[in-house]
Every structure is written in C-alpha cells, then in structure tokens.
Amino acid sequence: MKSANNIYLIGPMGSGKSAVARRLASQLGLEFHDSDEEIEVRTGVDILYIFDREGEAGFRKRESAVIAELVELDGIVLATGGGVAQDPDNRRLLAANGIVVYLYTSVAEQIRRTRKSRHRPLLNNGNPAEVLQQLMDKRDGQYREIADLLIETDGRQVASVTKQLRLEVQALQVDAAGREQAK
Ligand code: S3P
C-alpha cells in the first residue's frame, strides 16, 4: 500500500516544484527533500557540472539512485527534477510509495519563469522555447501516467498553489484513512 504521508511533486522546469514542496512541507510538518539538491550535496558539485562531465546519461543514473533512496523515507514532501518521469523505474517507485502530484504548467508559462535561469543545462543550448515544447510533448503523458492529482499553476503564486494542494492532499488522506478503518 502506498503511503499517504509522502507527497511527491513532479512536473516540468519552472512549474514551482521546489518552492511549493518547501512551503507544503513546512505547513504539514513533513520533511522537505529536493532530488536535485540531494544530488548536488552528494557529489559536491552543481548539476551543470555533472551534465558537463558525465553528460545527461550520467546525471540520470545519479537521479535514479537518489530517487530509489528517497522513496524509502516516510513523511516527506519531495520536489523532483523535471526529467524524473522519463525513467520507468522512477515512475514505478514514485507511484508505489506516495501521493504523486503533477504541477501542470503551460510551455508559455515555463518560458516566462525560466527566462533568467542559468542553472538548467538543458536550456543553455539551443532555443529554450523549442526545447521546453519538445520536452513537454514527450513528458506530459509520463507525468499524467503516475499523477494522483494534477494542479494547474499558470498565473498563480506559490501560496495559492500550495493551499489548493494541501486541501486536495488532505482529502485524499481522509479517504485513505477511511478505507483503512473500513477493513
Ligand atoms: C531537468 C530539470 C531540472 C534538473 C535538470 C534536468 C529536466 O530540474 O533536474 O536540469 O530534465 O527537465 P527542475 O525541474 O527542478 O528545473
């Protein structure tokens, strides 16, 4: 049975996963984790450097290893990297161990929110708008495949997205508790 005490945020770059996860964790008294941050802490270097030295394939291996460890924890809110759902094992692990929330964000909004960012290797070469569109075409279905909840973030502040998410997660938790009691 998947734990209703773990909340995993998935979605594209610029969907606000880290900011929303941090705020939600503090409101719910859960531990905040960010898979990109964990990779950086473990390696002692940033993600740009990992992509540079090991390519995307090297980064994906590290990402899968970190996901496999983080799904063992109980009582966490996890912000994942935008590419996490590409890998079937990552999808299986996330779906099996917590409530998965897709922060849906249109490509136009992703472009606006990532415009000034320099720390995202996939956006540093080529046309960011085209890259974000291609990634969305490929990944939207993968996110939806494992999402228990989908929250739209376009034009919204972190506080508003977090509040909706908290209410929807709590409703799911009440349902899960009810099913347990009825057993
Ligand atoms: C990536 C998204 C990034 C980070 C890496 C690759 C992706 O995370 O994991 O740069 O493939 O979409 P954010 O979604 O937090 O920007």
Spatial distance between the Cα atoms of 134 and 44, rounded to a whole number of angstroms: 31
pLDDT band at 181 (very low <50, low <70, confident <90, very high): confident
Q: What is the mean pLDDT of residues 58-72?
A: 98
Which ligand 1 atom is nearest residue 83's CA? 11
Question: Could you tell me if the CB of 122 is within 6 A of ligand 1?
Answer: yes
| Tens-digit pLDDT profile for residues 89-106 | 999 999 999 999 999 999
Q: In what order do the strands lie in the sheet with 31-34?
A: 31-34, 76-79, 7-10, 99-104, 149-152
What's the one-letter identity of residue 155?
G
Q: Return the half-sphere exposure (C-beta side, CA atoms, 13 A cut-off) of residue 8.
A: 32
Beta bridge partners of 143: none
- Cα 121 to Cα 29: distance, rounded to the nearest angstrom: 33
Burial annotation 77-97 (CB, 10 A radius, 16+ → b, else e): bbbbbbbbbbbeebbebbbeb
Which alpha helices (DSSP H) does the chain contain, by range?
17-28, 35-43, 47-70, 88-97, 107-114, 128-146, 158-182
pLDDT in tens, 107-160: 999 999 999 888 999 999 889 999 999 999 999 999 999 999 999 999 999 999
- Reported as a single tens digit per residue, the pLDDT across 26-41 is 999 999 999 999 999 9
- Percent of the chain past pLDDT 70, that is, above it, reads 99
Kindly indicate the confidence band of residue 178, based on its pLDDT and cuts at 50, 70 and 90: confident
Say yes or no: CB of residue 36 within 6 Å of ligand 1: yes
Bridge partners (DSSP) listed for residue 104: 152
pLDDT at 173 over 90: no
Ligand 1 in reach of 10 Cβ (< 6 A)? no
pLDDT surpasses 70 at 1:
no
Residue nearest to atom 2 of ligand 1 (CA): 82
- What's the pLDDT at 180? 82
Pocket mutation for ligand 1, best pick of 122, 123, 138, 143 (most atoms within 8 Å of C-beta): 122
Q: How far apart are the first and last CA of the chain?
A: 13
- Point out the ligand 1 atom lying closest to the alpha carbon of residue 139: 12
Look over the chain and give the mean of its residue pLDDT values, rounded to a whole number.
96
pLDDT for residue 6: 97
- Output the residue whose Cα is nearest ligand 1's atom 11: 83
Q: Which atom of ligand 1 is nearest to the CA of 56?
A: 6
DSSP 90-121: HHHHHHHHSEEEEEE--HHHHHHHHTT--S-G
